[in-house]
Amino acid sequence: MLTVGALVLGASGCGGRATTHHKPGTSHEQAGGSVGRLLAADDGAGNRLRQVDAEGAPAVTVSVRPDSEDGWNVHLSVRNFTFTPDSVGGAALLGRGHARLFLDGHPLARVYGSWFHLPASLVRTAGGGTGLTARLYADDHTAWAVNSAPVQATASLAAPSAAATAPGEARPDATVEIVVSHGRVSPAPGRTEIKKGRTVRLRVRSDRADTLHVHGYDKEARLPAGETVTLTFTADRSGLFEVETHESDLLLTQLVVR
């Protein structure tokens, strides 16, 4: 299993190996400013975006499966990225750092490896939800970004273990987070399973002005360039429903309501 939480290490590192910690009196930005470009915007959780070129940039995908005893097992697959728990708090080096998990935008945990067990109790403490996002960060806690969008991936907790919701608690809503940048949709369009009667929140950010549309429900919302827009509705009819943009005609996801 993974180590969660902040790690505090001596400046000398392990076994005399050099670390990436910055010098006393030097800020994180000064120490790692040569890597990428710090943007004025943040990731929505108070961490500055550190933008790098798309070619060779860190990337992540996330998958979730129910655990046989409790909660879920989360798997992070990364590319051009190495988890570095021994240098947390140090300077930003390209392709190094850690991940953080968010549930419908609420911070859950800091992750230093490919696997993480997400207990049902942690989901309940966070207020419930189904949209699990994994986002990549540098050692100085800036968020890696490409085209002004955080490097992240989202999966749905659409098949929770029986313990995920305690008796008498309301079923959690379904949240889907999508980023559109340079004509590409992240995460790649797929299907999100939703129980009928559940409240759906579509959180979409586009780098160009557009219109969000949910077929079958005839729900629309304007997408100002660079802003995250949330479209909320109740999934009160069963079937397969496509979510797309009007002007750019991009398929964002498919909602399967049962």
Find the range with the poorest average confidence among 45-49, 56-60, 109-113, 123-127: 123-127
Q: Average model confidence (pLDDT) for the chain?
A: 81
> Per residue in 87-133, pLDDT tens?
999 999 999 999 999 998 889 999 999 999 998 888 888 877 788 99
Residue intervals of the chain classified under CATH 2.60.40.420 are: 173-258
> Per residue in 177-204, pLDDT tens?
899 998 988 888 888 888 888 889 898 9
- One DSSP character per residue, the chain reads ---BS-----TT-STT----PPPTT--HHHHHTTSSEEEEEE-SSS-EEEE--STT--EEEEEEEE-SSSSEEEEEEEES-EE-GGGTTS---TTEEEEEEEETTEEEEEE-SSEEEE-HHHHHHTT--SEEEEEEE-TTSPEEEETTEE-EEEEE--S--GGGS-TTPPPPPEEEEEEEETTEEESPP-EEEE-TT-EEEEEEEESS-EEEEETTTTEEEEE-TT-EEEEEEE--S-EEEEEEESSS--EEEEEEE-
Please state whether 248 falls in left (phi above 0), alpha (psi between -120 and 50) or beta.
alpha
Find the range with the poorest average confidence among 160-164, 179-183, 217-221: 160-164
The CA–CA distances, whole Å, from 65 to 69, 74, 165, 219 equal 12, 7, 16, 31
% of the chain exceeding 90 in pLDDT = 52
> Per residue in 226-240, pLDDT tens?
898 999 999 999 999
What is residue 34's predicted lDDT score, i.e. its pLDDT? 66
- What is this structure's pTM? 0.53
Check: CATH 2.60.40.420 for 173-258?
yes
% of the chain exceeding 70 in pLDDT = 81
Q: How far apart are the first and last CA of the chain?
A: 34
Q: Cβ of 247: how many Cβ atoms within 10 Å?
A: 11
What is residue 22's predicted lDDT score, i.e. its pLDDT? 44
Whether 75 shows a pLDDT value over 60: the answer reads yes
What is residue 251's predicted lDDT score, i.e. its pLDDT? 93
Q: Which residues contact 26 (CB under 8 A, 6 or more apart)?
A: none
What is residue 169's predicted lDDT score, i.e. its pLDDT? 41
CA 217 centroid distance within chain: 26
